[in-house]
């Protein structure tokens, strides 16, 4: 009976029965806590449903039409593109650069990489509070530094700088993750190709470009996959610092969703916005995993 | 075959949930009667609002003689001569709800920390356990909404923000009239008449006056804070140059305010004034605070957001058409836009907290700010301007005056059990009783009762800034202004309508775009009007 | 040549110092500020030498507030979540890595996609389930909520790690007479230990740092430290001293934990990503 039940799932039942039973509890727990929310989102996205209503009413494509025709929704996606794209790119560049830096310095490598890791452990809500503190026009350390250099700007109060500032907060917190992953990869690169390159008279940049970077490409993709999932979802720093402003400059799709779900308590609308985010995440995940698999092959 | 597979999945799912719930018995579910020991003090990060209560003198004790011989039906103590008494029907057993646990959800405001710090008074008198959970307002709104939506009563007592909770969720609250009129239960000491009436209207009712849903609990109001030292020192100089007495007061107009602020800016830049850097500062972040700050000007120019009657007091389901395309509103927006151009440059970064901190750091001469910040300004540990701050009502405009009111009430969740509802009623009575309000003054609390303001102690504190009483109760300095601000014609109450959170967001978002120079004041008002009319279906 | 080498190193160290400044100044400023009085804290330029005061910490830990309770709650929730996700994730990750199921790729992608669900949109459905099961405001509820994002992460991480452990290892053990399960515990798990540690630290970090779920699913008595941090921004001012101290306290356990297992973590992370 048991075998009959599980056989259709497996190609080689004999060999893999234990693995199947080992995986099953996770699948069940995951299903229990994620499938219902998913179907609920799909259901709610077709209902006129807000928290203060007695019962949801069928709305057809009403929420979808409202969401997809809302210019603020698309503008938020546009800003998200800047936020996520800019953030990931900066993290990637800085992360790799600093990993290479650490890789090349002869002494104190462990000490420096340990110290550099610290921002990673700061809770996002604390990151927000901390940067708000640093950038405050009255007593912010960074505001004062900027001022001393003659830059009298209101970083969080000016739409031209606010987005840059919230990206920098994300970069500050998460660059170390990329750095340690890439550095770990660099340390496993074997000596031979590098020595061979030396013999061929390659310069440092050529060694980085043609030997080191290709060898850690896979790790970079993994790091980007994890980060790309979270950069869309997490809005803690924006909630604490700019709350989407000024002039909507930092209202990313994540913050837009927070507003619809929590402030307006519009469950139907939130579900449709949430599903577009899920879709985008999945597409992005697919993309990175595809890249990953092609690397493996 | 398929079915047995499914059955196994279900069995496993149930088993894993069971294991999970077993493995974390540390869980502490609100609503279940039993509770662990850690409950004497309510949730609060640092216990009391220590920042505000640097002055440790207990205002409650200093004032009058705590009467030991209070009515025998009042088990709470702390009553003083002149206040209405907490009275119960003959033979009422205050301990009849012993063992009930009440969960209160409230914003982390002064009365909440004051009550939390003194909760043992109530717990000992009634045997009812009270958990006061203090969170940020958006979390209160969300949790109350979820509770009501699921017809739950995880929270029996809810901080009923008039605009974000009461206006939408009134039907989920117990009609307090039924409890107040119940002959077997105690009734509100001093009666409903003792609440400041305008605050009762906006905080207690929704749509009509038949049902009373909540009792006024706090009442922050926007007034003008200014630097007395600056205004005294340069009074003559200003008089020479501009020809009038510039001291902020009821006669000041917004145009004069602008002129004064600009003058201070220039003198500060020229090095004549060294005490402050800027004339005015504002809470103009893309945030609820921006709507509040703008509304003061809007009201003074004779504008309002919507056309319906009773918009600001008992509230209405349908606000009617937006009025923001009116010439008054556009004029107000134009003025506000100009005003913000000469305001401290940090203004677009600040909500009320950031603004208050800048003022406390001595940067700004005048700010429209919530009166409760007096506690912070007068605390030398938090402020460089202690003893130098004057308060008055906000300037008037061509067509009147507006001082934004931001008070909130507390009410009872309808889905609680009968016993819990009655226990919650006892809590409401105690929490809003004049003697309790008197007791928690030192938490930075502002009474919502007429009777408390009549006490000699309070009168002394408010009218004589040099008195010992005033020093013990830092809010006293701003309260004369606040009381003036609550008067008809001076106060501004925002629309109490179910879709306010959305409208509010539209207002402050578009205003923020205006301040960033992205759109003209007239276009801003039209845009807000267009979006709100679409939302309200008008 | 020697000269150029030296110059290059000088440049490298200079750049490194700059990066460290960028990374560490905010944290140092936070820690120093938490030991200053509020008036000192706001002084610009900041004072580097001052008499530290630990009043804020004293108030937090021994004052009237519930901070120790917040800390305990955070600890319990994070540790329980991590243990649960690790237990399931280690077994499941192995199953996923070795399983060779018909829909392996789909299952594997489904697992990771459950981590992508936008939190504000899933809070209501989770709330509905939890309130049916009477889990609102309980530690169990919060553990379950954290499991929604930590379990897929653990599964996915562990399956990459296990893929790198050669199958010969367990087959050799099985030839020696171990059952498959025993072989797994005795041989495969130790071989993947760095990966497990790395996963554990990251799971711990994600639960310890979460704010959004905690803000909705906790009640009085189960609130966690990030909630405590958020409460310092109140309607009547921001308590910066306490905010900085709370921030310092929040990062400390993660810091210690992360530093203790740094070697494992780096090895674990590289193992997951490098073939």
Q: What is the CATH number of the domain that holds B320?
A: 3.40.190.10
Among B43-52, B418-427, C248-257, name the one with the lowest average pLDDT.
B43-52
SS3 assignment, position C270: helix
The reply to whether residue C125 touches residue A40, judged by beta carbons under 8 angstroms, is yes
Q: What rounded mean pLDDT belongs to chain B?
A: 85
Does residue B22 have a pLDDT over 50? no
Q: If you search the block for the tokens 């009640």, which residue do you land on?
A: C219
* C108 pLDDT tier (thresholds 50, 70, 90): confident
Predicted pLDDT at B73 = 66
CA–CA dist C37, B512 (Å, integer):
34
Same domain, B271 and B344: yes
Classify A67-296 by CATH class. Answer: mainly alpha
Q: Which of B208, B204, B209, B232 is nearest to B219 (CA)?
A: B204
Residues B50-60, mean pLDDT to the nearest whole number: 37
Highest mean pLDDT among A192-206, A273-287, B13-27, B409-423: B409-423
Please say whether the beta carbons of B362 and B370 come within 8 A: no
What pLDDT is stored for residue C98 in this prediction?
Answer: 81
Q: Are residues B70 and B189 in the same domain?
A: yes
C18 lies in the same domain as C113: no
A 57-116 near C (Cβ less than 8 A): 94, 98, 101-102, 104-106, 112, 114-116
pLDDT band at A85 (very low <50, low <70, confident <90, very high): very high
The pLDDT, as a whole number, for residue A1 is 37
Nearest CA in chain C to A8: C102
Of the candidates B354, B140, B225, the one whose C-alpha atom is nearest the C-alpha of residue C237 is: B354
Q: What is the CATH number of the domain that holds C153?
A: 1.10.3720.10
**By three-state DSSP, how is residue B527 classified?**
helix
Evaluate if residue B44 carries a pLDDT over 70. no
- Encoded tokens for B313: 């007091």
Shared domain check, B226 and B321: yes
The confidence score (pLDDT) of residue A293 equals 77
Query: Looking at the domain assignment, is residue C171 inside a domain?
Result: yes
pLDDT-based confidence at residue B420 (cuts at 50, 70, 90): very high
Whether residues C15 and C141 share a domain: the answer is no
Residue C96 forms contact with A (CB below 8 Å): yes
Q: Give the integer Cα–Cα distance in Å for B465 and B474.
A: 10
Determine the Cα–Cα distance for residues C236 and A166; give it in Å rounded to an integer.
25
Question: Quick check: A26 and C124 CB within 8 A?
Answer: no
pLDDT by residue (tens digit) across A107-131?
888 888 888 888 988 889 999 999 9
Q: Is the pLDDT of residue A203 over 90?
A: no
pLDDT band of residue A15 (cuts 50, 70, 90) is low
Least confident span in A104-108, B16-20, C155-159: B16-20
B194 and B140 in a single domain? The answer is yes
User: Within the 69-128 window of chain B, which residues sit less than 8 Å (CB to CB) from chain C?
Assistant: 103, 107-110, 117
Buried b vs exposed e over B175-202: b needs ≥16 C-beta within 10 Å? bbeebbeeeebbbbbbebebbbbbbbbb
- The Cα–Cα gap between B526 and B321 comes to 12
Q: Which long-range contacts (CB under 8 A, 24 or more apart) does C176-181 make?
A: C180/A18, C181/A18, C181/A22
Under 8 Å between Cβ of B458 and B440: no
Q: Is beta strand B157-160 parallel, antiparallel or unpaired with respect to B214-218?
A: unpaired
Same domain, B232 and B134: no
**Percentage of chain A lying above the pLDDT 70 cut:** 94
Can you tell me the distance from the alpha carbon of B223 to that of B391, in angstroms, rounded to the nearest whole number? 7
Instruction: Note whether B138 and B192 are same-domain residues.
Output: yes
pLDDT at A155 over 80: yes
What's the pLDDT band for B330 if we cut at 50, 70, 90?
Answer: very high
Instruction: Identify whether residues B215 and B245 lie together within a single domain.
Output: no
pLDDT of residue B266: 96
Nearest-angstrom CA–CA distance, C125 and B5: 26
- Please state the length of chain B: 538
DSSP per position, B46-107: TSS-TTTT-S---HHHHHS---TT--TT--S----TTSPPP---TT--TTTTTT-EEEEEEE
Q: What confidence score (pLDDT) does residue A296 get?
A: 65
Q: How confident is the model at residue B248 (pLDDT cuts 50, 70, 90)?
A: very high
Six token digits for residue C199: 């996963």
Question: Is B295 part of a structural domain of the chain?
Answer: yes
pLDDT band of residue B15 (cuts 50, 70, 90) is: very low
Residue A84 CA to its chain's centroid (Å):
7
| Highest averaged pLDDT of the listed ranges B106-120, B422-436, B472-486, C191-205 | B422-436
| Secondary structure (3-state) at A30 | helix
Higher pLDDT, B419 or C113: B419
Check whether A7 has a pLDDT greater than 70: no
In a domain, residue C60? The reply is: no
- Asked if B266 and B411 sit in the same domain, the reply is no
CA-wise closest residue to B101 among B28, B27, B33, B29: B33
Query: Which region among A208-217, A262-271, B219-228, C76-85 has the lowest average model confidence (pLDDT)?
Result: A208-217
- Mean confidence (pLDDT) of chain C: 85
Of C70, C144, C236, the CB nearest to B373: C236
Give the up-direction half-sphere exposure of residue A169: CA atoms within 13 A in the CB hemisphere. 34
Whether residues C98 and C180 fall in one domain:
yes
- A151 pLDDT above the threshold of 70: yes
> Are residue B101 and residue B185 in the same domain, yes or no?
yes
ipTM at complex level:
0.87
CA distance A118 to chain C (A): 7
| R_g of chain B computed on alpha carbons | 25
In a domain, C154, yes or no: yes
* CB C200 within 8 Å of CB C90: no
CB B179 within 8 A of CB B512: no
Specify whether C264 is located in the same domain as C169: yes
Give how far A27 is from chain B: nearest CA, Å.
9
pLDDT at A209: 82
- Residue B204: give the domain boundaries: 62-220+407-454
Least confident span in B69-83, B322-336, B454-468, B510-524: B69-83
- CA dist., res. C230 & res. B140, Å (int): 13
Number of folded domains that form chain C: 2
Q: Is residue B463 part of a domain?
A: no
Q: Residue B109 — pLDDT band, cuts 50, 70, 90?
A: confident
Angle at B532 between CA A255 and CA B353, to 5 degrees: 50
C59: in domain: no
Residue C272 pLDDT: 55
Structural domain for C10, as ranges = 2-53
Q: Mean pLDDT check: name the lowest of C69-78, C121-130, C263-272.
A: C263-272
Give the other-Cβ count within 10 Å of B243's Cβ: 8
What CA–CA distance (Å, rounded) separates B55 from B472? 6
pLDDT at B475 (0 to 100): 87
B342-376 residue pLDDT tens: 999 999 999 999 999 999 999 999 999 999 999 89
Render pLDDT for B185-201 as a digit per residue (tens, 0 to 9).
999 999 999 999 999 99
Residues C79 and C140 in one domain: yes
The CA distance from C181 to the nearest CA of chain A, in Å, is 7
Number of domains chain B is built from: 2
- Structural contact between residues B257 and B473, judged by C-beta atoms closer than 8 angstroms: no
**Whether C60 contacts C242, CB under 8 Å:** yes
Question: Which of A266-275, B200-209, C257-266 is predicted with the least confidence, judged by mean pLDDT?
Answer: C257-266
Q: Among A13-17, B288-292, C61-65, C160-164, which is the least confidently predicted range?
A: A13-17
> What ranges in chain C are assigned the alpha helix state H?
2-34, 38-41, 55-62, 67-98, 104-113, 119-132, 139-164, 167-175, 180-183, 189-191, 193-209, 212-217, 225-231, 240-260, 262-273
Residue B221 has pLDDT above 90, yes or no: yes
**Are B363 and B511 within one domain?**
yes
Residues from chain B contacting residue C138 (CB–CB below 8 Å): 24, 27-29
Question: What are phi and psi for residue B52, nearest 5 degrees?
Answer: -85, -20
Three-point CA angle C136, C141, C143, nearest 5°: 155
User: Which stretch of A15-19, B78-82, B128-132, B322-326 has the lowest confidence by average pLDDT?
Assistant: A15-19
pLDDT at res. C268: 66
For B118-127, B456-465, C84-93, which range has the lowest pLDDT when averaged over its residues?
B456-465
Q: Which residues of C touch B109 (CB under 8 A)?
A: 234-236
The 10 Å Cβ neighbour count of residue A234 is 20
pLDDT bracket for residue B14 (50, 70, 90) = very low
Closest CA to A219 of C13, C268, B363: C268
- Calculate Rg over the CA atoms of chain C: 23
Q: Is B492 helix (H, G, I), strand (E, B) or coil?
A: strand
B282 and chain A in contact, CB less than 8 A:
no
Q: Does residue C180 sit in the same domain as residue C204?
A: yes
Average pLDDT of the segment spanning C185-200: 85
Q: What is the pTM assigned to this prediction?
A: 0.87
Task: Tell me if C131 and B136 make a contact (CB, 8 A cut-off).
Answer: no
Lowest mean pLDDT of A142-146, B23-27, B338-342, C96-100, name the range. B23-27
pLDDT value for C269:
65
With beta carbons under 8 A apart, name residues in chain A contacting C143.
none
Q: What percent of chain A has pLDDT above 90?
A: 36
DSSP string, B139-203: HHHHHHHHHHHTT--S-SEEEE-IIIIIHHHGGGB--HHHHHT-TTS---TT-GGGB-HHHHHHH
């Amino acid at each position: 009976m048991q075998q009959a039940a599980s056989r259709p799932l497996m190609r080689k039942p004999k060999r893999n029965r234990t693995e199947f039973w080992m995986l099953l509890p996770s699948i069940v727990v995951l299903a229990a806590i994620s499938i219902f929310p998913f179907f609920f989102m799909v259901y709610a996205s077709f209902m006129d449903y807000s928290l203060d209503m007695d019962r949801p009413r069928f709305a057809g494509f009403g929420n979808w039409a409202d969401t997809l025709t809302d210019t603020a929704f698309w503008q938020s996606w546009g800003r998200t593109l800047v936020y996520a794209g800019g953030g990931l790119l900066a993290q990637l560049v800085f992360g790799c650069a600093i990993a290479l830096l650490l890789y090349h310095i002869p002494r104190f490598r462990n000490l420096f990489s340990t110290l550099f890791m610290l921002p990673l452990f700061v809770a996002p809500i604390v990151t927000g509070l901390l940067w708000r503190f640093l950038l405050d026009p009255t007593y912010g350390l960074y505001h004062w530094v900027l001022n001393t250099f003659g830059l009298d700007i209101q970083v969080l109060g000016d739409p031209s700088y606010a987005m840059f500032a919230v990206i920098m907060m994300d970069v500050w917190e998460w660059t170390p993750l990329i750095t340690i992953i890439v550095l770990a990869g660099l340390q496993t690169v074997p000596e031979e190709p590098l020595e061979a390159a030396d013999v061929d008279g390659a310069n440092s940049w050529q060694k980085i470009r043609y030997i080191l970077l290709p060898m850690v490409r896979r790790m970079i993709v993994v790091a980007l996959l994890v980060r790309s999932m979270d950069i869309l979802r997490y809005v803690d720093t924006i909630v604490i610092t700019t709350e989407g402003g000024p002039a909507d400059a930092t209202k990313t799709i994540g913050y837009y969703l927070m507003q619809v779900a929590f402030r307006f308590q519009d469950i139907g609308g939130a579900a449709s916005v949430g599903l577009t985010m899920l879709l985008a995440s999945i597409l992005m995940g697919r993309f990175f995993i595809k890249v990953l698999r092609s690397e493996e092959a | 075959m398929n079915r047995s597979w499914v059955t196994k999945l279900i069995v496993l799912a149930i088993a894993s949930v069971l294991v999970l719930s077993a493995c974390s018995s540390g869980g502490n579910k609100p609503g279940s009667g039993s509770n662990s020991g850690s409950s004497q003090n309510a949730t609060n990060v640092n216990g009391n609002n220590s920042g505000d209560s640097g002055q440790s003198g207990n205002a409650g004790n200093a004032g009058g003689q705590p009467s030991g011989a209070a009515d025998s039906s009042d088990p709470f103590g702390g009553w003083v001569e002149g206040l209405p008494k907490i009275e119960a029907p003959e033979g009422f057993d205050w301990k009849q709800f012993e063992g009930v646990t009440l969960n209160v959800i409230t914003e982390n405001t002064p009365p909440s920390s004051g009550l939390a710090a003194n909760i043992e008074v109530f717990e000992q008198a009634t045997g009812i356990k009270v958990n006061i959970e203090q969170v940020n307002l958006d979390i209160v709104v969300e949790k109350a909404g979820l509770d009501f939506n699921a017809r739950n009563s995880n929270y029996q007592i809810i901080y009923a923000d008039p605009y974000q909770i009461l206006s939408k969720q009134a039907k989920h609250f117990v009609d307090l009239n039924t409890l107040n009129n119940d002959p077997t239960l105690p009734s509100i000491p001093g009666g409903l008449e003792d609440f400041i009436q305008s605050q009762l209207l906006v905080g207690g009712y929704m749509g009509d006056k038949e049902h009373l849903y909540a009792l006024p609990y706090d009442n922050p109001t926007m007034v003008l804070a200014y630097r007395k030292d600056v205004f005294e020192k340069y009074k003559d100089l200003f008089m020479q140059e501009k020809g009038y007495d510039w001291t902020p007061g009821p006669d000041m107009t917004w145009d004069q305010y602008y002129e004064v602020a600009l003058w201070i800016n220039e003198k500060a830049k020229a090095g004549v004034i060294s005490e402050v850097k800027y004339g005015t500062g504002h809470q103009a972040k893309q945030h609820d605070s921006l709507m509040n700050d703008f509304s003061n000007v809007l009201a003074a120019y004779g504008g309002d957001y919507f056309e319906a009657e009773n918009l600001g007091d008992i509230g209405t389901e349908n606000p009617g058409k937006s009025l923001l395309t009116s010439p008054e509103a556009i004029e107000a927006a134009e003025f506000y836009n100009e005003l913000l151009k000469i305001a401290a440059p940090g203004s677009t970064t600040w909500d009320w907290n950031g603004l208050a901190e800048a003022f406390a750091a001595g940067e700004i001469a005048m700010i429209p700010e919530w009166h409760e910040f007096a506690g912070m300004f007068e605390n030398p540990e938090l402020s460089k301007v202690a003893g130098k701050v004057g308060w008055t009502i906000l300037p008037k405009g061509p067509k009147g005056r507006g001082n934004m009111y931001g008070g909130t009430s507390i009410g009872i969740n309808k889905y609680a059990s009968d016993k819990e509802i009655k226990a919650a009623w006892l809590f409401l009575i105690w929490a809003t009783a004049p003697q309790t309000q008197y007791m928690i003054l030192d938490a930075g609390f502002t009474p919502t009762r007429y009777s408390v303001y009549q006490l000699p102690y309070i009168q002394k504190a408010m009218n004589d800034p040099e008195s010992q009483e005033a020093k013990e109760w830092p809010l006293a300095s701003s309260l004369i202004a606040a009381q003036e601000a609550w008067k008809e014609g001076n106060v501004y109450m925002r629309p109490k309508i179910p879709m306010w959170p959305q409208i509010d967001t539209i207002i402050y978002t578009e205003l923020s775009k205006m301040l960033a120079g992205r759109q003209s004041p007239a276009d801003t008002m039209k845009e807000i009007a267009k979006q709100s009319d679409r939302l309200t279906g008008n | 040549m020697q000269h150029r080498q030296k110059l290059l190193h000088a440049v490298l160290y200079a750049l490194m110092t700059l990066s460290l400044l960028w990374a560490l100044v905010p944290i140092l400023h936070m820690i120093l500020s938490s030991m200053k009085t509020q008036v000192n804290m706001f002084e610009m330029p900041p004072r580097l030498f001052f008499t530290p005061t630990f009043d804020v910490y004293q108030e937090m830990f021994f004052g009237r507030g519930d901070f120790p309770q917040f800390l305990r709650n955070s600890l319990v929730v994070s540790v329980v979540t991590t243990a649960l996700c690790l237990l399931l994730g280690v077994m499941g990750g192995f199953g996923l890595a070795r399983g060779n199921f018909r829909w392996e790729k789909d299952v594997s992608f489904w697992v990771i996609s459950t981590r992508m669900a936008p939190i504000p949109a899933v809070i209501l459905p989770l709330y509905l389930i939890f309130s049916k099961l009477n889990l609102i405001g309980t530690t169990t509820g919060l553990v379950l909520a954290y499991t929604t994002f930590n379990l897929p992460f653990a599964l996915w991480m562990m399956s990459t790690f296990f893929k790198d452990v050669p199958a010969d290892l367990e087959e050799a053990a099985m030839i020696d007479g171990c059952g498959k399960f025993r072989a797994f515990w005795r041989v495969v798990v130790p071989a993947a230990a760095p990966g497990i540690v790395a996963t554990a630290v990251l799971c711990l970090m994600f639960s310890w740092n979460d704010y959004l779920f905690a803000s909705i699913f906790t009640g009085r008595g189960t609130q966690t430290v990030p909630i405590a941090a958020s409460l310092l921004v109140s309607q009547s001012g921001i308590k910066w001293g306490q905010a900085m101290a709370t921030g310092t306290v929040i990062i400390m356990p993660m810091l210690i934990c992360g530093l203790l297992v740094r070697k494992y973590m780096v090895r674990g992370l590289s193992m997951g990503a490098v073939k």
